[in-house]
Amino acid sequence: MKPTHRQNSRTETAGPKNGERPGKSGERRSAPSQKSRKSGGMGLSSDRFSGRKRPDRQIPDGKSSRVPSETGEKSSGKNRSACPVYKKCGACQYLHLSYEKQLAVKQEMINGLLKGLCPVKPIIGMENPYHYRNKVHAVFGHDRRGNAVSGVYKEGTHELVPVETCLIEDEKADEIIGTIRGMLRSFKIRTFDEDTGYGLLRHVLVKRGFATGEIMVVLVTASPVFPSKNHFVKALREKHPEITTIIQNINGRSTSMVLGEKEHVLWGKGYIEDILCGHRFRISSRSFYQVNPVQTEKLYNKAMELAGLTGRETVLDAYCGIGTIGITASGRAGRVIGVELNRDAVRDAVQNAKRNEIKNIEFYCNDAGRFMSRMAADGERLDVVFMDPPRSGSTEEFIQAAAQAGPRTVVYISCGPETLARDLRVFEKKGYKAREAWPVDLFPWTGHCECVVKLEKIRK
């Protein structure tokens, strides 16, 4: 195979077109039928707690925290929740705990799940575990009086819980969503009603590049007909000149998926860029990008360390998304191959490689397991495999294919510790032993925890 920046002839099947990679931790749910629970949507409308004034508390080894003084933290590690919709939203399961206690609970969880499989290192916490989400999704609806409301679905239902601001969401994104909600009446725009099928605006999605400051606003409508859209866009831009692109996504189906297949750029270039691990990445409305870039850099740097790259290796980045892991590894490897089913993500990955002037990386829109099986059948070998599957984990077929490819090292980045433990046992049966695991807290205040594990081929 010759390195290329194009989608190669090995393309076989298109991936999910209606949203980002399914099941990743930290993704917000649009309805209870959606498989992936969001990790963050904790609403806050109380004037008593602005989310801005917090005393610093330093904790060793990257576990420093800023604990809300208003929550009445006690030595037991318990907090009185500062969120009025804490129980209704259901996203921040650990909001009643201090951050130190959360880290301890997650450490204990990973220790228990991986007991007997490999040593577990100390969890890597976040210095300031607030407003870390660079992507905010709001469901739009109306109350009994017909007033527009926005927020999240109550866990396990289609009941809309109004959310004004949130302690883990980007503050500017929350502000923009509030502005849009306030503009609807003057533009005579009705929110979509699931029961009747009438109305226009279904969702608003805001993505922000924390390093670049670029902001994307996606207006998800039930119909392509958007009355006065030019005036609406102009008014929104006047209120928020920091917005760099606005997109209309059309989703007219009765579905739990947030995004539809068709979209139009209403203003700007139709994507934003952000910088992660020293590289610039293009982010479209439907491509996957980690929601907590601060912790993602720690996670990826640890993954690179565990891979032990010397500059000569052939590396495969499975489930590669927009290429963040593969591009991060490219400067430390001889050749990098990225494989991803989502066509939109592959397209972004190709552009990201060009934008960063990386010549030793190639991307394929394909199933990673089938791709590795074909490589093995063709006699091609891999030195390192990075895998970052959805929360449902990997499959025995994929693990078998990885073993056939024969890499010396597999670096498994997991957002589902339960399925990670299951997969590590399968890997061991296929000749790969987990050597060490590092928990990384990408989703403070929630029950989710990322984990990166180094596996090595067992020498017979």
Residues identified as active-site: 415
For the CA atoms of 222, 186, 213, 388, what is the dihedral angle to 10 degrees?
A: -20
Start-to-end Cα distance in the chain: 30
277 contact partners, CB below 8 Å, separation of at least 6:
297, 300, 301, 324, 328
Sort 70 into a burial class: Cβ within 10 Å, 0-12 / 13-18 / 19+. Answer: middle
Which is nearest to 396 in space by CA: 434, 358, 446, 430?
430
HSE toward the beta carbon, residue 354, CA cutoff 13 A = 10
Alpha-carbon span 196 to 291, nearest angstrom = 33
Please say whether the dihedral angle defined by the alpha carbons of residues 23, 89, 79 and 70, taken in this order, is positive or negative: positive
Tell me the helix, strand and coil percentages in the chain, rounded to 5. 25, 25, 50
- Both tokens of 431, joined, read 């000749």
Residues in Cβ contact with 8 at an 8 Å cutoff, skipping those fewer than 6 apart: 1, 362, 363, 364
What's the rounded Cα separation, in Å, for the pair 186 and 176? 16
Instruction: Enumerate residues 6+ apart whose C-beta is below 8 A from 225.
Output: none
Residue 458 identity: I
CB 307 within 8 A of CB 384: yes
Interacting residues of 442 by C-beta distance below 8 A, sequence separation 6+ = 25, 26, 39, 290, 291, 292, 295, 296, 299, 415, 448, 449, 450
Pull the structure tokens for residue 441.
């807290």
